[in-house]
Amino acid sequence: MKIVAANRLTDGETVWLGAGERWVDTIDAAHVAKDAEDEARIAAAGKLALAANIVIDVSLVDVELVDGRVFPKRLRERIRAGGPSIHPEIGKQARVAAQHAA
């Protein structure tokens, strides 16, 4: 299974290709390709967004589903999804915690 990750050109935020080929801010909203044909389709969508200067650093990311959540296999991608591992008070992980506290 794979997803497409990138960085939004306007602010550098890590984003993922979601349903309807929209770029989403949370990895759990990413579209998960489960076969080679779907992987090719989302990779092509990522390349189009790169060519249109919407995102940069477009890549296919290996993931697995753990308890219904999208979980990257590589540490680098887990850090991109959550934030710095030594500073849980910053990054996307802090935003999620703040939303649950409110």
Question: What pLDDT, on a 0 to 100 scale, did the predictor assign at position 100?
Answer: 67
Contact 46, 87 (CB under 8 A): no
Question: What pLDDT, on a 0 to 100 scale, did the predictor assign at position 85?
Answer: 72
pTM: 0.85
Angle between helices 92-101 and 75-82 (to 10 degrees): 50
Question: What pLDDT, on a 0 to 100 scale, did the predictor assign at position 96?
Answer: 67
